[in-house]
């Protein structure tokens, strides 16, 4: 009989069996139905697989189970095997792996991978901004250590002795001499000016001319959402000089 000759060991075998169903003769189909009723069900023959059966074909690392790493299809179960990412990339389409694949391979959460990716992208974007700032004619400056970042009053002694914590930006180097000065130049403005060596609006303007989207500029400079949008009119006026 037909079912007695069948050996369905995979889901694919079962699918192929039913895909060919209408090619069977009426007699064969009737006999098959009778046998199915007799056996009670049609299922895949399970095969017991030992953990030792899985092995990296490239580096021979032991594997816990098959995985979905691009063209590799193996799950590496050893710390030493993490360098197999290079081998996986050489086999993967366009030399790329998804966040989930990298997460499985390096045992890092997808959210951590996204965070690292965003940091890398922002470093590149900042480098592009700095390069353009070098080419435009704007005032460049650097902050003096031990002086108020707003009025430039010497506050080195207060910084070293421990002035009010909410007036210190960087211990022993930068801070404000008063609450009024802190309000006039908030910390986010100082951080941009210290990193890029120019007025914060010039740095934001260059970033806006390159990337055009306020939310991207906010992300680059780690600003609260909407800051760049609120300054867009000012930035557009400054763009005339770039």
For every residue of 196-218, DSSP letters joined together read HSB-HHHHHHHHHHHH--HHHHH
Residues 162 and 58 in one domain: no
Q: Is 45 inside any structural domain?
A: no
Q: How far is CA 54 from the centre of its chain?
A: 30
Helix, strand counts (H, E) of the chain: 13, 5
Residues 135 and 234 in one domain: yes
Residues 147 and 222 in one domain: yes
How confident is the prediction along the chain (242 residues), in pLDDT tens digits per residue? 455 445 666 666 766 777 777 777 878 877 777 777 776 555 555 555 555 556 665 556 666 665 545 445 555 555 555 556 655 565 555 656 677 777 776 778 888 888 888 899 999 999 999 999 998 888 899 999 999 999 999 988 888 776 777 888 988 889 999 999 999 999 999 999 999 999 999 999 999 999 989 999 999 999 999 999 999 988 888 887 76
* Domain span holding position 79: 51-108
Among 150, 126, 130, 148, residue whose Cα is nearest residue 140: 130
d(CA 147, CA 76): 55
Q: Is 46 inside any structural domain?
A: no
Residues 15 and 82 in one domain: no
d(CA 143, CA 200): 13
């Amino acid at each position: 009989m037909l079912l007695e000759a069948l050996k369905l060991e995979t889901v694919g075998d079962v699918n192929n069996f039913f895909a060919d169903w209408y090619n069977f003769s009426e007699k064969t189909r009737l006999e098959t139905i009778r046998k199915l009723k007799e056996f009670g069900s049609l299922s895949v023959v399970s095969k017991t697989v030992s953990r030792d059966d899985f092995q990296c074909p490239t580096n021979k690392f032991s594997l816990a189970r098959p995985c979905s790493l691009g063209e590799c299809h193996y799950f590496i179960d050893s710390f030493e095997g993490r360098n197999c990412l290079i081998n996986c990339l050489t086999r993967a389409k366009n030399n790329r792996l998804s966040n989930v694949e990298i997460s499985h391979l390096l045992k890092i959460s997808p959210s951590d991978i996204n965070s690292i990716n965003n940091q890398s992208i922002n470093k590149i974007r900042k480098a592009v901004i700095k390069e353009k700032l070098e080419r435009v004619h704007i005032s460049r400056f650097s902050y003096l250590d031990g002086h108020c970042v707003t009025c430039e009053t010497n506050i080195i002694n207060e910084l070293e002795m421990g002035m009010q914590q909410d007036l210190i930006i960087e211990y022993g180097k930068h801070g404000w001499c008063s609450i009024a000065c802190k309000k006039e130049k908030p910390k986010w403005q100082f951080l941009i000016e210290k990193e890029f060596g120019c007025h914060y609006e010039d740095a934001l303007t260059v970033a806006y001319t390159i990337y055009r989207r306020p939310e991207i500029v906010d992300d680059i400079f780690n600003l609260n959402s909407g800051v760049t949008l609120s300054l867009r009119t000012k930035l557009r006026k400054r763009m005339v000089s770039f």
